[in-house]
C-alpha cells in the first residue's frame, strides 16, 4: 500500500506558510508504517519540538491503474475519508533550507492518521465536501473540497503518470489553512460533513 500526499492544494494554506503555488501538483510519499494502528495514541517523537496537524480529505483507490485519463479517474475510487498529515515542521524547515527531501519530516511512524470510516462517494457531493478538525473541542481547521486547486480526478490522473495506483492506496489531498502545533494531552477530532470519523489522542 502506498500513501501519497498532495501538498499546496489550498490557496489559504499556501499563504499561511508563505509558500509559492506550483505549476503542477506537489506530492510526496509516506511509508505504510506511517499509518497509526487503530485505537492507539500518537506519541510525539523526541526528534522534533514542533509537530503540526494538517487535516485532509483522503481518497481510497479501489482498483489498479496507470496513466489514467482524467475523464475516467472517477472509476478508480469509491470512498472518501479523512486523514491528518502530522508534520515535523522544524525538521521540514531545515530540509527546505538545505534543499533536501522532506521524508524524515513527513514519513515518521504515526504521521498518517486515518479515519475509522470512509464514506461512499455516492453519498457525497464531491465538489462540496465540508470537513473540519477540532483540537480540544475548539475548531482549528475548516475546509471544503470546492476550494482545492486540483480536483480528486485530476490528482488521480496526474499521480498515475508516475506511479501505478493499486487498490488500497491512499491519497491525502492537501490541507486548508489553520495548521498548528500539537502538545501532549491534546485530542484531535475530525469531521466530514458534520460526521465524526477521526479521533486521535496525543501523548
- List the beta bridge partners of residue 198: 190
Sign of CA dihedral 53, 57, 60, 64: negative
Query: What pLDDT does residue 145 have?
Result: 98
- List the beta bridge partners of residue 190: 133, 198
State yes or no: pLDDT of 195 exceeds 90.
Answer: yes
Q: How confident is the model at residue 19 (pLDDT cuts 50, 70, 90)?
A: confident
Cβ 102 vs Cβ 89: under 8 Å? no
Max CA distance (Å), the chain: 45
pLDDT, mean over the chain: 95
Query: What pLDDT does residue 197 have?
Result: 98
State yes or no: pLDDT of 17 exceeds 80.
Answer: no
State how far the Cα of 119 lies from the Cα of 164, in Å rounded to an integer. Answer: 24
Residue 58, all three cell numbers:
483522503
State yes or no: pLDDT of 128 exceeds 80.
Answer: yes
- In CATH terms, 3-201 corresponds, of 3.40.1080.10, 3.40.50.300, 3.40.50.450, 3.90.850.10, to 3.90.850.10
| Three-state DSSP state, 187 | strand
pTM value surpassing 0.85: yes
Instruction: Find the range with the poorest average confidence among 18-27, 111-120, 154-163, 188-197.
Output: 18-27
Place of cell 482545492: 148
Q: How confident is the model at residue 92 (pLDDT cuts 50, 70, 90)?
A: very high
CB atoms within 10 A of CB 31: 15
Amino acid at each position: 500500500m502506498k500513501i501519497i500526499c498532495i501538498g499546496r492544494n489550498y490557496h489559504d494554506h499556501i499563504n499561511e506558510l508563505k509558500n509559492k503555488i506550483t505549476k503542477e501538483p506537489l506530492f510526496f510519499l509516506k511509508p505504510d508504517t506511517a499509518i497509526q494502528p487503530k485505537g492507539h495514541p500518537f506519541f510525539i517523537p523526541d526528534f522534533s519540538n514542533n509537530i503540526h496537524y494538517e487535516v485532509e480529505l483522503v481518497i481510497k483507490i479501489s482498483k489498479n491503474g496507470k496513466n489514467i485519463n482524467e475523464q475516467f479517474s472517477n472509476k478508480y475510487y469509491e470512498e472518501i475519508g479523512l486523514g491528518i498529515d502530522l508534520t515535523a515542521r522544524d525538521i521540514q524547515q531545515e530540509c527546505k533550507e538545505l534543499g533536501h527531501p522532506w521524508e524524515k519530516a513527513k514519513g515518521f511512524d504515526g504521521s498518517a492518521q486515518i479515519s475509522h470510516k470512509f464514506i461512499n462517494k455516492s453519498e457525497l457531493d464531491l465538489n462540496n465536501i465540508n470537513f473540519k478538525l477540532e483540537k480540544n473541542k475548539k475548531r482549528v481547521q475548516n475546509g471544503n473540497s470546492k476550494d482545492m486547486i486540483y480536483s480528486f480526478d485530476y490528482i488521480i490522473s496526474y499521480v498515475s503518470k508516475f506511479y501505478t495506483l493499486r487498490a488500497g492506496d491512499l491519497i491525502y489531498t492537501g490541507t486548508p489553512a489553520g495548521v498548528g502545533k500539537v502538545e501532549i494531552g491534546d485530542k484531535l477530532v475530525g469531521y466530514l460533513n458534520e460526521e465524526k470519523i477521526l479521533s486521535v489522542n496525543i501523548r
